[in-house]
Structure 1
Amino acid sequence: MNFEEMTALALGRSFEEGKADPREVTEAFLARARRLDPDHRVYVRLLEDRARREAAAAHDRAKRGLRLHALDGVPLSWKDLFDVTGEPSSACSLALKDNVAAHDCELLARATRLGSVALGKTTMTELAFSGLGINPKFGTPANPHDEKIERVPGGSSAGAGVSVAAKLAPAAIGSDTGGSVRIPAAWNGLVGLKTTAGRLPMSGTVPLSPTFDTAGPIARDVEDAAALLALLEGRPVPPLHAADLSRAVFWVPENGIVWENTEPQIISALHGAVHRLVHAGARIIEKPLPELDEIHALAWDPKASRLVAEAYAQWGEMLAANETLIYRPVFERVMAGAKLTAADIIRADLKRREISARYIAATAGVDAVIVPTVAIAPPPIAALEDGGDAYGQANRMALRNATIGNQLGLSAITLPCGRDDNGIPIGLMLQAAPMKEEKLLSLALAIERLFSRT
């Protein structure tokens, strides 16, 4: 069997049917990671001893007919901000290299109790504060979809996305504060689920902005994403049924910030996707959705960013004491929080709640809003690694559309809808009201199947 080609659920079924051994699968992924990631640009470290122990236990359960979950025995990669007992939770920052976890984070503990195998910890943007995935201190994994130019992988869950796209893991667990699951998923041709803030516990993770921090899966398909959500919630995988697209209603915002300066091939891919939805019977509403523009302006107002304020409150003192160790673009973004006042943030909170309430009311009659996940293709790493204006502009364009969902408190999912002329995947994002993940997964499954036929 070519284990690296299989989805997480397919691997789980093969264990259930006795056609594959979790020990053999785990060893195959460990060997592949050692061979293809020798400089640890994807994995900060492999958890080889733990993975082997967990795979052996999964083998024994399968042999006795006592499997705990559909993903029992399936190896997963975990972003470096999730606590793993006895391992550094550095969030890929040299300043946190000695931050050794005493216990597994709650999400890993849940996944472990249900039998999944912890394969390794993946690289990320330092402190999770960028949508590009560049980290010169720990290494930046190149996007595997361009063999000629090393392009950014998307961040901040950079190694998480590449671990799945490069077939170094069947699936990955990342975090999303402003797009950090969806951006690498989109640029790597994968499915990424942004959960509603508060749905999954973030205890035992290195925080960036507790108000907006969320965790979520990066997977090869929608069914895997749904199974991973169930795993992270500590429950069995429920049946996932594809929505009836002939009864679905989607809002495609007319003009507005989500389309501004979006690359033409991405616009073309989204228009083609919407055209296929129309042919499947879906109803499309095309009119302005001004709340998107309003929340965007608020999110990027230097006098109104709760995210920046919380990042500074968490890390400003540490960064000031370790300035030479910190990647300059991350240092500057965090330290900008020193200028914010409590009054600034309270005013912004009130405004954000008011915009969010209007958005939820305006979109109450639709199943989801459709926008491009990312407005640009991943730029070359070399052009941005030194920071400066080019880095700042690219980072803002990478984050722009995805951040809207975090700021509005929504649930969201990205799935592939095409490729550009360089073979780089393009993502379509569905966003819905808070706690509507199951609805989004049902819609996304139907769309995934539609796209696979046309």
Structure 2
Amino acid sequence: MTDFDAHIPALALGQLFETGKRTPGEATDDYLARARELDPDHRIYVRLTEARARTEAAAATDRARRGMRLHPLDGVPLSWKDIFDSAGTVTAGGSLALKDRIPDHDAVVLARAAQAGSVCLGKTSMSEFAFSGLGVNPTCGTPVNPFDEVTERVPGGSSAGAAVALARGLCAGSIGTDTGGSVRIPSAWNGLVGLKTTAGRLSLKGTLPLAATFDTIGPLARNVADANALFSLLTGDKPADLSGSSLAGLTLWLPGGIGWSSLDAGIANAVDAALRKLIHKGVRIIEHPIPELDAIDSLLNKSANRLVAEAYANWAETIRSHEGEIYPPVVERVMAGEGIAAHDLLKADEERRRLTQGYLDRTAGIDAIVIPTVAISPPPIGKLVEGGPDYFKANSLALRNTRLANQLGLCALTLPVGFDAHGIPVGMMLQAHPDTEEKLLRMGTAIEKALH
């Protein structure tokens, strides 16, 4: 490995390519070498795509030398969750049951990012079928949260390897998916920025499904500017203009209730401290209940859960034929969909639509709702591997706050705002109305600058 900053932001690395101070080929070789050295048991990357990465990096190096870069992230090495099809490379959704699945084509978002010049380093580990907020995967490997050097703690899921790869300097940016919090939970627990996009904003073609109604794709990044650039890779559009982002006139709503209850030590303190800084800088804060948030949480705790029903429709057949190869808690969660009655599901759908409209009406004119991204600190891996009550309690608490945005069809952004009692990063989440990602990113830029 050459002497370079493996934790450099993606846009800053792209600027080095632009000025000729570094080449995509050099950076790619360095990240691949770090992955081989620091992840020898493949708990972070389930597989590296070295030949592809070097070919893409060579082309990007040539474009940079000729002054023909395609995008601010042209040549920048990225990791991709093992849920995105990549031509000629196993895409297994974190499961041994799909270990022989080799797609012929890239997922739409991967193909789009490759056309803009980014480099695919490899596929990162994940919860099986993306069905866990913890990231525990005994069959294919669980990456360790890098912020506790004594106790092996969960990384957050389901985009587990995506977060840890970035946090440990094994890529310059990561792409994951979020059905109930799978971008934001690992981002929060690894000190990263994570963007949950609006359902339907990005094509899911070539992405293994969990529940298509709620599945979304989003970036994990070192800062908001990187998240914005990565988002543009996925949309195929130009990055949003973040220049001039300001706190002027910003109004944030603190709803209390379910999003602020039963928080582990240090989490509320970190978010409160961030909000105090923002108030000091002129941000207007409204504190008032939003009953729809508590109601949607209550609805999700009933038996007729569409996410579970769709997961069952997608994966029950695979589980029945490969049950011995699949992590038992995932089997249990998926197969819970077998008993969901159609009439109960339709009633729950109608109630979710009613609550969504009520939420949107109530929060019209507010820039964002603020809650802690995750209510708990990441628990030790060892206590959860066997599944059982501890696993399901921890998984439910990890997902509790993030899943609200998925169920209500919102976009959301998590920002790192401090550390909890264990020295683990704490995330603060901004929820905004559907299809307002660019506004949310500008807001996040101003908040990030004010806090740091």
TM-score if structure 1 supplies the norm length? 0.98
Supply the distance in 1 between the matched residues of 2:7 and 2:144 (Cα, whole angstroms).
20
- CA offset digits 1:229-252 (Å, max 9, x no partner): 001111232321353213100000
Conserved 8 A contact 1:174-1:217: yes
Correspondence 1:313 to 2:306: no
Q: CA shift at 1:273, angstroms? A: 1.2
Equivalent residues in 2 for 1:286-297, closer than 5 Å: 286-297=287-298
Q: CA shift at 1:297, angstroms? A: 1.0
Conserved 8 A contact 1:3-1:25: no
Alpha carbons of structure 1 residues 242 and 326: separation in structure 2 relative to 1, 3 Å:
farther
Secondary structure, counterpart of 2:6 in structure 1 = helix
Conserved 8 A contact 1:142-1:152: yes
Q: Which residue of 2 aligns with 1:82?
A: 84
Q: Which residue of 2 aligns with 1:235?
A: 237
Equivalent residues in 2 for 1:239-318, closer than 5 Å: 239-241=241-243, 243-254=245-256, 256-302=257-303, 304-318=304-318
Secondary structure, counterpart of 1:284 in structure 2 = strand
Q: Which residue of 1 aligns with 2:52?
A: 50
Q: Which residue of 1 aligns with 2:63?
A: 61
Secondary structure, counterpart of 1:183 in structure 2 = helix
Correspondence 1:350 to 2:353: no
Counterpart AA for 2:48: L
Conserved 8 A contact 2:144-2:152: yes
Q: Which residue of 1 aligns with 2:165?
A: 163
Q: Which residue of 2 aligns with 1:366?
A: 366
Q: Which residue of 1 aligns with 2:438?
A: 438
Secondary structure, counterpart of 1:414 in structure 2 = strand
Secondary structure, counterpart of 1:10 in structure 2 = helix
Secondary structure, counterpart of 1:382 in structure 2 = helix
Counterpart AA for 2:316: G
Correspondence 1:142 to 2:163: no
The total of aligned residue pairs comes to 450
Conserved 8 A contact 1:125-1:133: yes
Q: Which residue of 2 aligns with 1:17?
A: 19
Supply the distance in 2 between the matched residues of 1:246 and 1:111 (Cα, whole angstroms).
34
Secondary structure, counterpart of 1:412 in structure 2 = strand
Secondary structure, counterpart of 2:248 in structure 1 = helix
Correspondence 1:131 to 2:110: no
Q: CA shift at 1:163, angstroms? A: 0.5
Conserved 8 A contact 2:145-2:152: yes
Q: Which stretch shows the higher mean deviation, 320-329 or 24-33?
A: 320-329
Q: CA shift at 1:66, angstroms? A: 0.8
Conserved 8 A contact 1:247-1:282: yes
Counterpart AA for 1:213: D
Conserved 8 A contact 1:246-1:283: no
Conserved 8 A contact 1:253-1:369: yes
Alpha carbons of structure 1 residues 242 and 300: separation in structure 2 relative to 1, 3 Å:
farther
Q: Which stretch shows the higher mean deviation, 316-325 or 304-313?
A: 316-325
Supply the distance in 1 between the matched residues of 2:181 and 2:244 (Cα, whole angstroms).
25
Counterpart AA for 2:380: P
Supply the distance in 1 between the matched residues of 2:422 and 2:244 (Cα, whole angstroms).
31
Counterpart AA for 2:311: A
Supply the distance in 1 between the matched residues of 2:300 and 2:20 (Cα, whole angstroms).
51
Counterpart AA for 1:260: S
Secondary structure, counterpart of 2:401 in structure 1 = helix
Supply the distance in 1 between the matched residues of 2:433 and 2:241 (Cα, whole angstroms).
22
Alpha carbons of structure 1 residues 235 and 147: separation in structure 2 relative to 1, 3 Å:
same
Conserved 8 A contact 1:176-1:216: yes
Supply the distance in 2 between the matched residues of 1:37 and 1:318 (Cα, whole angstroms).
29
Secondary structure, counterpart of 1:245 in structure 2 = coil
Conserved 8 A contact 2:194-2:219: yes
Q: CA shift at 1:276, angstroms? A: 1.0
Supply the distance in 1 between the matched residues of 2:443 and 2:343 (Cα, whole angstroms).
41
Counterpart AA for 1:281: G
Conserved 8 A contact 2:85-2:107: yes
Secondary structure, counterpart of 2:120 in structure 1 = strand
Conserved 8 A contact 1:69-1:237: no
Which segments of 5 or more consecutive residues in structure 2 lack a partner in the other structure?
Answer: none
- CA offset digits 1:363-413 (Å, max 9, x no partner): 112100000000001000001111000000000000000000000000000
Secondary structure, counterpart of 2:348 in structure 1 = helix
Q: Which residue of 1 aligns with 2:322?
A: 322
Q: Which residue of 2 aligns with 1:401?
A: 401
Equivalent residues in 2 for 1:183-202, closer than 5 Å: 183-202=185-204
Counting aligned pairs with the same residue, the percent is 57
Which segments of 5 or more consecutive residues in structure 1 lack a partner in the other structure?
Answer: none
Supply the distance in 2 between the matched residues of 1:45 and 1:291 (Cα, whole angstroms).
42
- CA offset digits 1:270-293 (Å, max 9, x no partner): 111111111010110001111100
Conserved 8 A contact 1:70-1:236: no
Supply the distance in 2 between the matched residues of 1:88 and 1:403 (Cα, whole angstroms).
29
Q: Over aligned residues, Cα RMSD in angstroms?
A: 0.9
Q: Which residue of 1 aligns with 2:179?
A: 177
Supply the distance in 2 between the matched residues of 1:280 and 1:298 (Cα, whole angstroms).
38
Q: Which residue of 2 aligns with 1:421?
A: 421
Supply the distance in 1 between the matched residues of 2:423 and 2:4 (Cα, whole angstroms).
24
- Which consecutive aligned stretches of 4+ in structure 1 deviate over 6 angstroms post-superposition? none
- CA offset digits 1:41-93 (Å, max 9, x no partner): 00000000000000000000111111100000000000000000011111011
- CA offset digits 1:75-126 (Å, max 9, x no partner): 0000000000011111011111111111000000000000000000000000
Secondary structure, counterpart of 1:247 in structure 2 = coil
Supply the distance in 2 between the matched residues of 1:226 and 1:40 (Cα, whole angstroms).
29
Supply the distance in 2 between the matched residues of 1:267 and 1:421 (Cα, whole angstroms).
11
Supply the distance in 2 between the matched residues of 1:153 and 1:317 (Cα, whole angstroms).
29
Conserved 8 A contact 2:240-2:438: no
